[in-house]
Amino acid sequence: MPGATELQRVLADLRGTVSALTRGYRDQGRPVTDGSPELLALCARLEFLLQFDLKEKRSLWGQRQDYWDFLCQGLRGRHEHQGITHVRHLPQLRTPLGRGRALLRYCLARRQLAETLQLCLLDPQATRAWYHARSPFLDPQLCADLLACLYDLDGVAFCLDPQPPGLDAGWPPSTARCQQDVQRLAQAEHEALAREQAAREELGRQREVEREVKGRLLELLREKDSLWQQSEGIGAPPAPGPCARCRSTAGPLARRHQCR
């Protein structure tokens, strides 16, 4: 289970990520997209905080509840949050974790993340029903610092895919990670082609050696046959000579002797 030291580290990393996003948007003037590695880091760290010391609860059907259920309960009865309605109408989401991730992305795209989280934390008693004592949401100072940090994101524009695939399994990978994966795949393909080429060359060398061995074996068989014939006194058949009766010689134009 993560401890207080890791919690402080994640909070510090979250502040650094928010600073990087605000500084990048201020300097470049372009909205943050799914290709930003800082976006992936922000979502992962925010999810860590929402799951930190979260009590284990289950629905009536036995499904394990997550911070999505906490956010839904915190927003219930105050006003109809459009993000909740939007996420519930996404058919590809099957788990509370995937729905929670979709809601965070929805709030980021509409600059409502800090406000939405603050609405969910207005009732400390309801928050204690979902979190144990170590949660940063039960520490007034940590909670105030976290909300102040997230309110800085209201000045950053996010242009995100409203229906990203695979949120049940994980956050959408950033472009940098995709490029790394593509490079690894290209390198693996190059290595596979090199191995295949080396195998072809080795097979060609083996076939050449096989041909040489077969040729040498044939020569040895011929030499053995020649030595055997010499040892047995077997020579080549004598050339045909003239007929003893008519003294004529058979040839291409006269295949039969005159006496026959």
Asked whether residue 45 carries a pLDDT value surpassing 60, the answer given is: yes
Could you tell me the two tokens for 248? 């004529």
3-state SS, residue 27: helix
Instruction: Please state the rounded mean pLDDT for residues 41-47.
Output: 93
**Is the same domain home to 30 and 115?**
yes
More confident residue, 120 or 80: 120
Half-sphere exposure of 253 (CA within 13 A, CB side): 0
Q: Which among 147, 170, 193 is the end of a domain? A: 170
Residues of the chain above pLDDT 90, percent: 47
Q: 233 lies in a domain? A: no
Answer yes or no: are the C-beta atoms of 136 and 7 closer than 8 Å: yes
- At 52, the amino acid letter reads F
Amino acid at 18: V
* Within a domain: 19: yes
- Examine the domain organization and report whether 92 and 134 are in the same domain: yes
Q: Which of 96, 87, 47 is nearest to 68 (CA)?
A: 96
- The structure's pTM equals 0.64
Residue 177 has pLDDT above 60, yes or no: no
Query: Is the confidence at residue 130, as pLDDT, over 70?
Result: yes
Alpha-carbon Rg for the chain in angstroms: 42
Domain around 147: 4-170
For residue 60, give the CATH number of its domain. 1.20.58.900
Examine the domain organization and report whether 52 and 161 are in the same domain.
yes
User: Are residues 139 and 36 part of one domain?
Assistant: yes
Determine, yes or no, domain membership for 186. yes
Q: Is the pLDDT of residue 118 over 90?
A: yes
* Helix-then-strand count for the chain, H and E: 9, 2
Q: Are residues 43 and 100 in the same domain?
A: yes
CB 117 within 8 A of CB 88: no
Both structure tokens of 249: 């010689």
Query: Is the CB of residue 166 less than 8 Å from the CB of residue 172?
Result: yes
- Please check whether residues 107 and 183 belong to one and the same domain: no
The pLDDT of residue 184: 63
At 56-104, the pLDDT tens digits run 988 887 788 999 999 999 988 666 788 999 999 998 899 999 999 999 9
Indicate whether 35 and 118 sit together in one domain: yes
CB atoms within 10 A of CB 58: 10
- Cross-strand pairs, 131: 54
Question: How many distinct structural domains can be found in the chain?
Answer: 2
For residues 20 and 135, membership in a common domain is answered with yes
In a shared domain, residues 56 and 67: yes
| Euclidean distance between CA atoms 200 and 117, whole angstroms | 62
Crossing angle of the two packed helices 113-120 and 96-109, in degrees rounded to 10 = 130
What values do phi and psi take at 177, rounded to 5?
-65, -40
First to last CA, the chain: 116
Residue 224 covered by a domain: no
In a domain, 211, yes or no: no
Q: Are residues 186 and 89 in the same domain?
A: no
Give yes or no for residue 176 having a pLDDT over 50.
no
pLDDT at res. 140:
93
Which pLDDT value is given to residue 175? Answer: 42
Do residues 98 and 90 touch, judged by C-beta distance below 8 A?
A: no
Lowest mean pLDDT among 21-30, 52-61, 127-136, 149-158: 52-61
Q: Based on the domain organization, do 115 and 182 belong to the same domain?
A: no
In a domain, 118, yes or no: yes
Domain contains 226:
no
Residues 110 and 197 in one domain: no
217-242 residue pLDDT tens: 888 888 888 888 888 776 555 556 66
